[in-house]
């Protein structure tokens, strides 16, 4: 199995959960432009933002780090 990078993991998560970048940004508390940069692979979330994503969605950070396939 190919190891996914954060941008791919995030894009897959959005697709699987029928979330737009804007809706995801709103849930997590970041700007849509920031989510766009992550998906393009131009940036990655900081530790604090990754923690915020995990808490906001009640999903282990391990999922977004590519350490597990389940959320």
Confidence at residue 55, expressed as pLDDT on a 0 to 100 scale:
97
Sort 38 into a burial class: Cβ within 10 Å, 0-12 / 13-18 / 19+. buried
Q: Is the pLDDT of residue 1 over 80?
A: no
Q: Is the pLDDT of residue 4 over 90?
A: no
Q: Is the pLDDT of residue 12 over 80?
A: yes
What CATH code would you report for 6-64? 1.10.260.40
Sequence ranges of the domains in the chain: 6-64
Q: Is the pLDDT of residue 46 over 80?
A: yes
pTM attached to this predicted model:
0.90
pLDDT grade for 2, boundaries at 50, 70 and 90: low
> Whose CA is closest to 37, among 29, 55, 25, 19?
25
């Amino acid at each position: 199995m190919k190891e996914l990078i954060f941008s791919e993991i995030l894009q897959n998560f959005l697709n699987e959960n029928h979330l737009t970048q804007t809706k995801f940004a709103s849930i997590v508390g970041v700007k849509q432009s920031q989510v766009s940069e992550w998906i393009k692979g131009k940036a990655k979330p900081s530790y604090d933002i990754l923690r915020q994503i995990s808490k906001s969605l009640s999903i282990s950070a391990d999922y977004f780090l590519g350490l597990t396939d389940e959320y």
